[in-house]
Amino acid sequence: MIDYENLKKLNEPFFEEYTKKFSEVLNSGWYILGNSVKQFEEEFTKYNNAQNTIGVASGLDAITLSLAACGFEEGSEVIVPSNTYIATILSVVHNKLKPVLVEPSIETYNIDPKKIEESITSKTKAIVIVHLYGKSCEMDPIIEICKRHNLKLIEDCAQSHGAKYKGTKTGVFGDFGAFSFYPTKNLGALGDAGAILCNDDSLAHKVKRLRNYGSDIKYLNEVVGYNSRLDEMQAAFLSVKLTHLDEINEHKRCLAKLYLQNLNSDFIKPVVHPDYFDVYHIFNIRHKKRDELREYLLENGIKTEIHYPVSPSNQKALKGIIDEKEFPISEEIHRTTLSLPISFCHTQEEINRVIEVMNKF
């Protein structure tokens, strides 16, 4: 059996380092907002060539707190891609803002810059872009649109740790870069965790206050805040994992190359372009008979996933929140996409086996 993902196997090479860190934090007697969080924030800032990192409790909270720090008037509009994971949209809803969905490009699966401006109204205040599957969005036109319309730009980097656009890592193009360290992400913790990159010191301070009950000084509360702190233990584990992130990304890129070179042309493969350094959080292909293909692979001992089976506009939770509109490109992606095994725990031999079986479909 070839798993889609195996978190024990993925983390096994780091067990010894984790155990040492666990013991350090345990013995420090300091379990919330201590030296481990401070140290990881500094390391993550350096890794991304950023100005500030604020550790938070999850990826959802990273986007939610970024939007909260902007202080938009209730009912303001925020543009989001129509094929994202629901968390991106929930962060907008939790801030009492209105998500406005814009279709992706069928080539890159990322928000189509050419379709953004037709959705901008006098109420639009921000764009939350998503670097889906580990490929950066097309940043030049997006940055230009944000400048022209005076919009805040938030990058959902939950799938793009270490991915680059024209040599710059995702997360520092906008006002905020929001990261998830959910265990399956390229930089995954051993539980829930997240972080925000922010190059503006004043906005960074606002986010930092919001994550800890709106307080700078203990028991003095300046604003209505949240409890969304990065856990001290998770931060210690993340410091270990961060030193291996480039190695993890390289491994995934190497497996992706096997798929790209050897899968036959019945499968629509991800596009490759020299401006983009892709980290393949997900390696997806598209096929008309996706469900049949998935069943066939399972019969042959290969597990796959679908990201995502139901589009946001078809989710019951978002009924009455998202405008009733057709999103044909998203629907096409949701109907045909299939995610293949591409974990740090997979060997080249396993991927070659997946390719061999797929080419006989």
Ligand X SMILES: *Cc1c(COP(=O)(O)O)cnc(C)c1O
Q: Of the listed pieces 73-81, 84-92, 209-217, 311-319, which binds ligand X according to CB under 6 A? A: 84-92
Pair 110, 62: CB distance under 8 Å: no
In angstroms, give the least distance from the CB of 279 to ligand X: 13
Pair 96, 68: CB distance under 8 Å: no
Is 285 a residue that touches ligand X (CB under 6 A)? no
Q: Of the listed pieces 66-74, 151-159, 248-256, 283-291, which binds ligand X according to CB under 6 A? A: 151-159
CB closer to ligand X out of 249 and 355: 249
Closest CA to 180 of 196, 164, 167, 169: 196
Pair 97, 123: CB distance under 8 Å: no
Pair 242, 195: CB distance under 8 Å: no
In angstroms, give the least distance from the CB of 60 to ligand X: 4
The SS3 call for residue 249 is helix
Residues in the chain: 361
Among 65, 87, 151, 263, binds ligand X (CB under 6 A): 87
Among 188, 194, 312, 341, binds ligand X (CB under 6 A): 194
Among 48, 84, 337, 339, binds ligand X (CB under 6 A): 84
DSSP-derived secondary structure letter, 358: H
Pair 134, 279: CB distance under 8 Å: yes
CB closer to ligand X out of 67 and 158: 158
Residues 156-185 that bind ligand X (CB under 6 A): 156, 158-159, 180, 182
The SS3 call for residue 269 is coil
In angstroms, give the least distance from the CB of 360 to ligand X: 32
Q: Of the listed pieces 83-91, 95-103, 288-296, 332-340, which binds ligand X according to CB under 6 A? A: 83-91
Cα–Cα dist 341/69, whole Å: 37
The SS3 call for residue 320 is coil
Per CB under 6 A, residues contacting ligand X are 58-60, 84-85, 87-88, 130, 156, 158-159, 180, 182, 192, 194
